[in-house]
Amino acid sequence: MFYIKNLPAWERVLRILVSIFALYYVYQNWGQSNLDIAMGVIGAMLAMTGMMGFCPMCAMVGRKLDKVEQ
């Protein structure tokens, strides 16, 4: 792999759940405001980071997992 996972399992699940709600909101309200586009981007980003277990922003600030949590 080209990256080391830096998100614990509980946070990965939380990110995926929040992304599902965000993408459902976008699906229901598409085309009504610019908020829909922002929510779609945020939902997609949360889904990708949740599935991969790697967050580039967390890596930039030096966040690492303890070996016990993996």
pLDDT digits (tens, 9 = 90+) for 6-65: 889 999 999 999 999 999 999 998 878 888 889 999 999 999 999 998 888 888 888 887
Threshold 0.85, pTM exceeds:
no
Ramachandran angles phi, psi of 68, nearest 5°: -70, -35
Kindly compute the dihedral angle of the four CA atoms of residues 44, 42, 21, 2, in this order, to the nearest 10 degrees.
Answer: 40
Encoding tokens for residue 56? 């580039």
The H or E element spanning position 49 is helix 35-52
